[in-house]
Amino acid sequence: MAGLTLITGAGGFIGGQLTRELLESGVAVRAVDCKPFDRWYFRSDSSQNFILDLRDFGACKKATEGVEQVYNLAADMGGMGFIEANKALCMISVLINTHLLIASRDNGVSRFFFASSACVYPDYLQRETDNRGLKELNTYPAMPEDGYGWEKLFSERMCRHFREDFGIATRIGRYHNVYGPLGTWDGGREKAPAAISRKVAMAVLSGRHEIEIWGDGEQTRSFMFIDDCLKGTKLLMASDFVDPLNIGSDEMVSINQLVDIVEEIAQIKLKRIYKIDAPKGVRGRNSDNTLIRKVFDWAPSISLNAGMEKTYRWIYDQAKARAEDRSFVAAYD
């Protein structure tokens, strides 16, 4: 059993669910986030809970005191709308991983997981909708997502060199579009599965049977359900595998197909309004899971239909509860 485990970004979607799972398995957890406690997605009295801004080195020193292993999930990020409009904020997150690695070295942390992203992959491999899958070795020559992707790629290299130079057992998981219940579903930081679910739910609740889709809807992605994300993360953290590894589904769909799935769940058909000038990211992105299957004899496999069923039902309930506020209903009249 591991000693004290630090989870950064613990007030967020993935961090909160990871905290819950580790606590349930008997792991001692220190949960850290910069958000006020009332904005955490999950918080338990069974963990040590701290509000710290990990861009500050002193905060990282405090967070890692007495810690054996670190899951670094902290970053300023969101969906494509946020990423494209906040490149500098995304880049500033490099301070978190840099200071956290130095503090981990100084405080004797033995194992360190870094949550990277499929945004590290080059733009020139993602210009067609028919993306056959991005392999881990495809990262260089580098041309990642501007801002957010560059920060993740630089931080990957930091992890590698801290492993080589200082002996910290760093592990790097490249997440591909994680979604599920209990995640961000409005406010501008939500990703496509949550945004589509919210828009469909609002169409049902308001009676306005139309939906705005960013781009032409033909751009493709793969989406990984939160349960698969957590399993892959824990497998990688406990393993001897040292190179970056995709943790993502390889079930690629277009955004139009994602809308089809949610419409079927909601039992509704909507008029589609395409906002061609909206942020839409790369044309096609998918995870190649050859390596993770070789390493673990496992890969994310929860189907998009099954995951979206749970996700939509949860978001519908949130939207319905909010719709009881008259001012909210009026905004959609």
Give catalytic residues, as residue numbers: 148
Residue 102 is encoded by which pair of tokens?
């130095």
Alpha helix locations (H) across 207-254?
226-238
Strand ranges inside the chain, DSSP E: 5-8, 29-33, 48-51, 69-72, 111-117, 169-175, 178-179, 210-214, 220-222, 224-225, 245-247, 252-254, 271-275
Distance in angstroms (rounded) separating the CA atoms of residues 123 and 143: 6
Residue 232, exposed/middle/buried by CB under 10 A (0-12, 13-18, 19+)? Answer: buried
Burial of 134 (0-12, 13-18, 19+ CB in 10 A): buried
Question: What is the pairing mode between strands 48-51 and 5-8?
Answer: unpaired
